[in-house]
Structure 1
Amino acid sequence: MTDGKNYKAIPQIRTQPQPQPQPRRRRRRLLRRRNWLCAVLVALIVTCLSPSVVPPSPDWSAFASRQGHVIQALILTAHPDDECMFFSPTILSLVKQDVHVRALCLSSGNATGLGAIRSRELISSYKVLGVNETDVAVHEHIDLQDGMRADWQPDVIAAALRLYIESTTLPDLIITFDSGGITQHPNHTPLSAGVRSLFKSRDEPFFSSRRPRILTLETVPKYIKFTSLLYPIYETIAFHLGWSPSTRAEGAPLLPEKPAWSVTSHAMGYWQALQAMMQHRSQVVWFRWLYVAFSKYMWSNRLVEVDLLR
Structure 2
Amino acid sequence: MLRALAKPVQSLARIRIPRRGLRWIVRLSVLAVVVPLFLQWLVAYLVGNDARILPPQLVNAKNPLIVTAHPDDECLFFAPSILGVLDRNKGAMGGLLVMSTGNNYGKGETRTQELIESCKALGIYFQRCIAIDHPDLQDNPTRWWNTDLIENFVHEHVRKWEVDAIITFDEGGVSGHINHRAVSAAVTHYVATNPQAPVAYTLTTTSLIRKYTFLGDLPLTVLPFLWRIIEALSYPVTTADPKEGGIALIANTWHRYLATRRAFAQHGSQYSWDRYLYMIMSRYTRAGPAYKDRVPAILHHISLGQGASSHEKWMQVRQDCLDLHPDWQAFLWTDETATQLVRDHFPELQEMWEEGYKFPIQKIDALRYMVLYHYGGVILDMDLQCKRALGPLRRFEFVAPAAVPTGFSIGFMMAEARNKFVGELVGNLGRYNRNWLGLPYPTVMFSTGCHYASTIHAFQSRQDRKELKILAGTREEPRMHSLNGPVSTPLFNHLGSSSWHSYDASMIVTIGKSGGLRLPLIFVSGVLVSFFVVRRFRRRRLGGGGISSPRLKVTF
TM-score, normalised relative to structure 2: 0.41
Q: Which amino acid counterpart does residue 123 of structure 1 have in structure 2?
A: I
| Residues 1:261 and 1:45: Cα distance change in structure 2 (over 3 Å) | closer
1:272 aligns with 2:259: yes
Post-superposition offset of 1:278: 0.7
Residue in structure 2 matched with residue 174 of structure 1 by the alignment = 166
Q: Does the aligned pair in 2 maintain the 1:155–1:197 contact within 8 Å? A: no
| 3-state SS in 1 of match to 2:289 | strand
Aligned runs of 1:93-108 on 2, under 5 Å?
A: 93-98=84-89, 99-108=92-101
CA spacing shift, 1:309–1:274, aligned 2, 3 Å: farther
- Give how far 1:63 is off: 5.0
Q: Which residue of 2 aligns with 1:222?
A: 208
Which amino acid is the alignment partner of residue 83 of structure 2?
L
Q: Given the superposition, is the C-alpha separation of residues 59 and 235 from structure 1 closer, same or farther in structure 2, using an over 3 Å criterion? A: closer
Q: 2:182 aligns with which of 178, 185, 190?
A: 190
Contact between 1:182 and 1:218, CA under 8 Å: does it hold in 2? yes
CA contact (8 A) 2:54 2:250 kept: no
1:164 Cα offset (Å): 3.0
Following TM superposition, by how much is the alpha carbon of 1:175 offset from its aligned partner in structure 2, in angstroms?
Answer: 0.8
**1:186 & 1:123 partners in 2: Cα distance?**
24
Instruction: Report how far residue 227 of structure 1 moved.
Output: 0.9
Q: In structure 2, do the counterparts of structure 1 residues 130 and 103 end up closer, same or farther at CA, with 3 Å as the change threshold?
A: same
Structure 1 residue 147, shift from structure 2 partner: 1.5
**Equivalent residue runs for 1:47-126 within 5 Å:** 48-50=39-41, 51-53=44-46, 55-56=48-49, 58-59=53-54, 61-62=56-57, 71-98=62-89, 99-126=92-119
Flag the 1:115–1:140 CA change in 2: closer, same or farther, 3 A: same
Aligned runs of 1:4-83 on 2, under 5 Å? 48-50=39-41, 51-53=44-46, 55-56=48-49, 58-59=53-54, 61-62=56-57, 71-83=62-74
2:218 match:
232
**AA of the residue aligned to 2:174:** I
**What SS does the corresponding residue of 1:150 show, helix, strand or coil?**
coil
Q: Relative to structure 1, is the Cα distance of residues 309 and 218 closer, same or farther in structure 2, using a 3 angstrom cutoff? A: farther
Deviates more, 1:48-57 or 1:77-86: 48-57
**Alignment of structure 1 residues 118-137 onto 2, 5 Å:** 118-137=111-130
Identity %: 30
Q: Which runs of 5+ in 2 are unaligned?
A: 1-27, 231-243, 292-390, 394-489, 493-556
Q: Does 1:158 align with 2:151?
A: yes
* Secondary structure of the structure 2 residue equivalent to 1:76: strand
Residue 259 in structure 1 maps to residue 251 in structure 2: no
Query: Relative to 1, partners in 2 of residues 1:122 and 1:169: Cα closer, same or farther, differing over 3 Å?
Result: same
Give the structure, 1 or 2, with the largest relative contact order (CA under 8 Å, sep 6 or more): 1
Q: Which has the higher helix share?
A: 2
Closer, same or farther in 2 for the Cα pair 1:236/1:52, shift >3 Å? farther
How far residue 47 of structure 1 moved from its aligned partner, in angstroms, is 5.2
1:146 partnered with 2:132: no
Paired AA for residue 74 in structure 1: L
Structure 1 237/191 Cα, relative in aligned 2: closer, same or farther at 3 Å? closer
What amino acid is aligned across from residue 88 of structure 2 in structure 1?
Answer: Q
Contact 2:36–2:218 (Cα < 8 Å) also in 1 = no
Normalising by structure 1, we get a TM-score of 0.70
1:301 aligns with one of 278, 288, 295: 288
Instruction: Kindly indicate whether the alpha-carbon contact (under 8 Å) linking 1:49 and 1:233 is maintained by their aligned counterparts in 2.
Output: no
The question of whether the paired residues in 1 share the 8 Å contact of 2:32 and 2:216 is answered with no
Distance 1:124 1:81 in 2: 11
Give the gaps of 5 or more residues in structure 1.
1-36, 203-207, 245-256
Structure 2 CA distance for partners of 1:201 and 1:243, relative to 1, 3 Å: closer
Paired amino acid for 2:45: S
CA-atom RMSD, angstroms?
A: 3.4
Alpha-carbon separation, structure 2, partners of 1:93 and 1:302: 10
User: Which secondary structure state, in structure 2, belongs to the residue aligned with residue 137 of structure 1?
Assistant: strand
User: How far off is 1:76 after superposition?
Assistant: 0.3
Aligned-partner SS, 2:149: helix
CA contact (8 A) 2:54 2:248 kept: no
Q: Displacement of 1:39 after TM fit?
A: 9.9
- Does the residue aligned with 2:94 lie in a helix, a strand or coil? strand
